[in-house]
Amino acid sequence: MKAILLTTLALLLGISTLSGQVVLRNSLTNKTRTLKAEGQIGLGIPIEGPELNCGYRMLKGKLQDTQKGVIRVLPEGEVKTMTFNNGLAKKEEVSYQNIKALRPISYAIPDIDRLTYRNKGAEGWTNIGGILTTLGALSTLVVAPLLSIDYSKGTFNSSQYFRLAGYSLGVTGVGAALLIGSKKRRFDIQRPGQAASKKLWVIEK
């Protein structure tokens, strides 16, 4: 009985871990990346139609999951750009943020050729990283030299400068790490008929 309960618990934990996420697989190396739900996602979808020379639809929103060949997103906005054969160009922007009781929208995976992703809350860390990097750089280049000058004697304390500059560079390093860790990542999606490549990813259905 105990073994059955433990097995059931493990299955439930496995299901809860797999739900609410999207797995990307590299089309050539089979390396995988897991995108967690509620992260900021962008989907690029080519538009085709009569008299249309080229068209593209870029949607952004919160990632939900994948279900039966579709990826579900709670949309925040989208931009459509279209150029027609007669030279006419058209751009449409739509915002979904003020719509009440908005539900996730499903997008067919074979239609998607680009995906961008940023972890939930990462935009705030990006801002903090930018501030720390800037402050660290200014401290290294401006503050540390000024504080290392003995104005009464007209001398420069190099040991104090290197100590202060070291602290400042440490702050810069933390800021840079936050910027790198929270940056938006882009994945080009393999579409039907495309050959496998390290640059192309597959959305696992």
Residue 140 φ then ψ, to 5°: -65, -45
pLDDT attached to residue 4: 38
pLDDT attached to residue 143: 74
84 and 90 Cβ atoms separated by less than 8 Å? yes
Q: Which residues contact 72 (CB under 8 A, 6 or more apart)?
A: 64, 65, 66, 104, 105, 106, 107
Using DSSP, state whether 188 is helix, strand or coil: strand
**Sequential pLDDT tens for the chain (205 residues):** 444 333 333 333 343 334 578 899 999 999 999 999 889 999 999 998 888 889 999 999 999 988 888 999 999 999 999 999 998 999 999 999 889 889 999 999 999 999 999 887 656 555 665 676 777 777 777 677 777 887 777 787 778 777 777 777 777 777 666 555 556 789 999 988 899 999 999 998 7
Name the strand (E) or helix (H) holding 145: helix 144-147
pLDDT attached to residue 163: 79
Alpha-helical (H) ranges within the chain are 2-18, 122-138, 144-147, 158-182
Could you tell me the maximum CA-CA distance found in the chain, to the nearest angstrom?
Answer: 84
Q: Which of 169, 160, 119 has the alpha carbon at shortest distance from 141?
A: 169
Q: Within 13 Å of residue 180, how many CA atoms lie on the same side as its CB? A: 6
Two structure tokens written together for 110: 């074979």
DSSP assignment, residue 109? G
Amino acid at 1: M
pTM of the model: 0.65
pLDDT attached to residue 50: 85
Query: Which contacts of 154-160 are long-range, i.e. CB under 8 A and separated by 24 or more positions?
Result: none
